[in-house]
């Protein structure tokens, strides 16, 4: 499926008019950064990093044959946001019930179970089977009598909630 603007984007890219493309996607880039950083002042800096990364890739001659430029823009936004969050130390405290003497695997299990307790029952069951019991999504679907797609949806919802729980301040 092609998007109405894909042909325009390709023409601009082929003609070397990166500034036109960046102007077109400015609202998308800034808006997504503001939304993900919840209005934090760093959102402007992250958006600037997205622009710089797109410009650098263009000048290095990096092209994505067969991939619409809008997809490239969203992918670069995601990578840049991932880099931003990876570079920030977490200020999320560990749960009180964790003892200093707990072995690493026990510490991880208790930390996960504590976080999973905040999830709805169905999503919690799926994430527990995935990360505590180590089952693959197909095995989880079979064990719970669910459609595999429902398992993937539960994993996605659970991951979203966990990202919010463990969000960086």
pLDDT digits 0-9 by tens, 120-169? 889 989 988 887 888 899 999 999 999 999 999 998 888 887 777 665 43
pLDDT digits 0-9 by tens, 83-93? 888 776 655 55
What was the pLDDT predicted at 108?
A: 63
The domain of 66 spans: 6-86
- The pLDDT confidence band at residue 8, using thresholds 50, 70 and 90, is very high
CA angle 104, 106, 108 (to 5 degrees): 70
What was the pLDDT predicted at 45?
A: 93
- Residue 131's CB: how many other CB atoms inside 10 A? 18
Tell me 3's DSSP state. -
Average pLDDT, integer, range 112-120: 78
Among 53, 86, 119, give the residue marking a domain's end.
Answer: 86
- Does residue 1 lie within any of the structural domains? no
Among 86, 116, 146, give the residue marking a domain's end.
Answer: 86
Domain CATH for 144? 1.10.10.10
- Does residue 11 lie within any of the structural domains? yes
pLDDT digits 0-9 by tens, 44-79? 999 999 999 999 999 998 888 888 999 999 999 988
- Does residue 69 lie within any of the structural domains? yes
């Amino acid at each position: 499926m092609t998007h109405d603007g894909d042909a325009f984007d390709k023409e601009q890219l082929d003609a070397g008019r990166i500034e036109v493309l960046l102007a077109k996607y400015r609202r998308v880039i800034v808006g997504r950064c503001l939304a993900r950083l919840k209005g934090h002042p760093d959102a402007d800096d992250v958006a600037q990093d997205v622009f710089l990364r797109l410009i650098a890739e263009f000048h290095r001659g990096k092209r994505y044959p067969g991939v619409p430029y809008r997809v490239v823009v969203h992918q670069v936004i995601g990578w840049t946001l991932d880099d931003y969050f990876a570079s920030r130390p977490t200020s999320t405290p560990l749960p009180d019930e964790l003892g200093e003497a707990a072995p690493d695997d026990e510490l991880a299990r208790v930390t996960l179970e504590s976080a999973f307790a905040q999830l709805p029952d169905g999503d919690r069951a799926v994430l527990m089977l995935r990360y505590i019991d180590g089952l693959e999504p197909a095995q989880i679907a079979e064990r719970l009598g669910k459609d595999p797609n429902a398992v993937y949806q539960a994993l996605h919802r659970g991951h979203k909630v966990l990202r919010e729980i463990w969000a960086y301040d």
